[in-house]
Amino acid sequence: MSITRKNKTLKILPIITVLFWVGCEELDITDPNNPSAETSTVQSLVTGAEAYLRVDIGVYLRDLLVVGREAYYFENADPRYTGELMRGPIDPGGFLCNRPWATNYKVIQNCLLLAESGDDGASGVGKTFHAYALMRVLSLTAENGARLNYDGDIDVALSSEAEVWTAIEGLLDGGYSDLNSASSFSFTLSSGFDGFDTPATFAQFNRALRARVAVHQSDWATASTALSNSFLDVSGNFNNGVYHVFSSGANDQDNEMYESPYAEVVKLRVHPTYETDADSDSSRYFDKVYNAGSTADYDDLNSSLMPKIWEGSYDPIPIIRNEELILLLAEVDIAGGTTGGLAEINIVRAWHDLPDAASGGLDQLLYEKRYSLLFEGQRLQDMRHYDMLDELNDAHLLINPDRLDDAIVTFPIPETETPG
């Protein structure tokens, strides 16, 4: 899906209903919440998996953004957003923990059936979505791991973080192989996959995710190869990529992250450090953040900064974009110890009408990713990868001296997934 950037504003292409793009095909599903190979068509399984990836996306992203010190969420009716998420412990029986887990495993349920469908294209898509769902689980649970047995038996031991990463790599590589064996898709994807809706182009999306995973694992050779087979284009539209899409259609949903930045009450606020750390002339920052002037105070936290990343309730949310791939390429170059990623960093800065950076290196790279990928959910993973979580929280504490108990938290396994 390509979103044209014009006058620093993202112009959103028309989207279609996610849950009902199956055309004239009749869906024979006895129970859509519990699909089986006998009762589900390939189309319904693909449609269901993609739809479940958007369910509770607001809860999932708010989890990542608040823990990753990208945002505050001031919800007067629920202090957990400024309590549990900012100092812990996370309640393993609460919705902040349970709902993202549950929706990702519903995605996986469909994906397992797609992998058994005998359709190479469907299997490739299923394995890719399966891997992406596990990536989202690990982005919250990290060292607490996840569940790789899918039979509902909670007495089976949980898998470690390393084991889950290995499973993710295997799924992406297996999916890539299946996609390369398919000549066409027997099903339709949503408009969020425009430009990535054939086996060959979806395989580029698969490799983009593989590059992200390899970078997080410091597997630089694999990352480099994956990027070369992805849709990376240093001269192309930075917003080209794959998106979650939304609409007002029947049984569809809106973008749960959107709030008008100019409304009287805005719950989602940009963390104040984004203003203090931004380049003074940063058009990239001002394109994404509106300073309302008046500060909202809640639970000894305050921010006057409103995200203006989305223009309306049905704007898409990126899964992965070309801009991230260019920055991943810079990260690979930095690890190689030669150019410090400076060429790619300055390509990104030029896109945002910023002056060239004088030097590259990891700190500069993390700075560029922080602002280029604001609210895309990558900041927490990046800081975790480089063992910089303390640094992330220290910057938060510096401006919040009344919140000295705050700490970066890791999500537990939901209590429904543990015996006893």
* pLDDT, block means (10 residues), the chain with 420 residues: 48 32 31 53 96 97 98 95 96 97 97 97 98 98 97 94 98 98 97 98 99 98 98 98 95 95 95 92 90 90 96 98 98 91 97 95 97 98 98 96 96 93
Beta bridge partners of 242: 320
3-state secondary structure of 243: strand
Residue type, 206: N
Q: Classify residue 385 as exposed, middle or buried by CB count within 10 Å of its CB (0-12, 13-18, 19+).
A: middle
Domain spans, the chain: 33-264+388-417
Q: Rounded to whole angstroms, what are the CA distances from 171 to 167, 175, 264?
A: 6, 6, 46
| Residue 294, Cβ density class (10 Å: 0-12 exposed, 13-18 middle, ≥19 buried) | exposed
Q: What is the pLDDT of residue 5?
A: 43
pLDDT score for 19: 37
pLDDT at 2: 67
Q: How far apart, in Å, do the first and last CA atoms of the chain sit?
A: 46
The CATH class of the 33-264+388-417 domain is mainly alpha
The confidence score (pLDDT) of residue 294 equals: 82
Q: Are 145 and 161 in contact (CB under 8 A)?
A: yes
> Residue 22 in contact with residue 44, Cβ under 8 Å?
yes
